[in-house]
Amino acid sequence: MAIYLDSASIADAQTAIQWGWVKGITTNPTLLAKSNLSPEATLTQLAAIAPYELFYQLTASTYEGMLAEAERAYEMIGEKTVLKIPATAIGFQATAYLSPQMDCSVTAIYSPAQAAIAQDAGAKYAIAYVNRATRLLGDGLALVQSMAKILQGSNTKILAASLKSPEEAAEALQAGASVITVPLNLLQQMTTHPLSEQTVIEFNENGRGIK
């Protein structure tokens, strides 16, 4: 199990890296567009500070374009690169070609059948957009469960994305995701529970510790 940061903000990445328990960073074109730096500058800076996997989502729409964009991403990010390749016919073809050379994930998966192809194409991760799937199809967690059945025992792990609450993040893990990716504010929410605060206050008021 691993928890990743879903953000292209350098400040968010610095915060999450300091925490020590976040183990990767996912970005997407929308997140990169929010940065006041260019996508190239953002990725270069993220790669310089992140000690782990950094996901970049391909935006090209042709096979040749995807291969060229993958090469440019690898030049910027290096060994930490995990490509996010769209779950389309051309995307699967690009995944099959690129996966022997660099880590690939197939992103925006909305059906168990697509997860099966992602595995066959050699993807390290099959990315399910849980909350989007719930909104658009009815049950994003059921999608993760079906994907987990298909990918049981395979080298392709489920990465659950588009998570909007601590409960949904935990449910995605229970449904079979190996990795979840979560925005910084949600990661912060996941660390806390009102009863934890209350319990610690009670112990500290009633008890003693070393000086």
For binding to ligand E4P (CB under 6 A), which residues are involved? 6, 26, 28, 127, 129, 131-132, 161-162, 181
**Looking at beta carbons only, is 33 or 89 nearer to ligand E4P?**
33
What is the set of active-site residues? 84
To the nearest whole angstrom, how small is the minimum distance from the Cβ of residue 82 to ligand E4P?
Answer: 10
**Looking at beta carbons only, is 135 or 193 nearer to ligand E4P?**
135
At 98, list the tokens: 């690129």
Q: Which of 75, 173, 66, 70 has the alpha carbon at shortest distance from 130?
A: 173
Sign, Cα dihedral of 33, 52, 156, 139: negative
Residue at token pair 């930490």: 80
To the nearest whole angstrom, how small is the minimum distance from the Cβ of residue 36 to ligand E4P?
Answer: 19
**Looking at beta carbons only, is 88 or 131 nearer to ligand E4P?**
131
CA distance 73 to 180: 23
* Contact of 50 with 58, CB cutoff 8 Å: no
**Looking at beta carbons only, is 148 or 179 nearer to ligand E4P?**
179
To the nearest whole angstrom, how small is the minimum distance from the Cβ of residue 43 to ligand E4P?
Answer: 14
To the nearest whole angstrom, how small is the minimum distance from the Cβ of residue 201 to ligand E4P?
Answer: 34
51 burial via Cβ count (<10 Å: 0-12, 13-18, 19+)? exposed
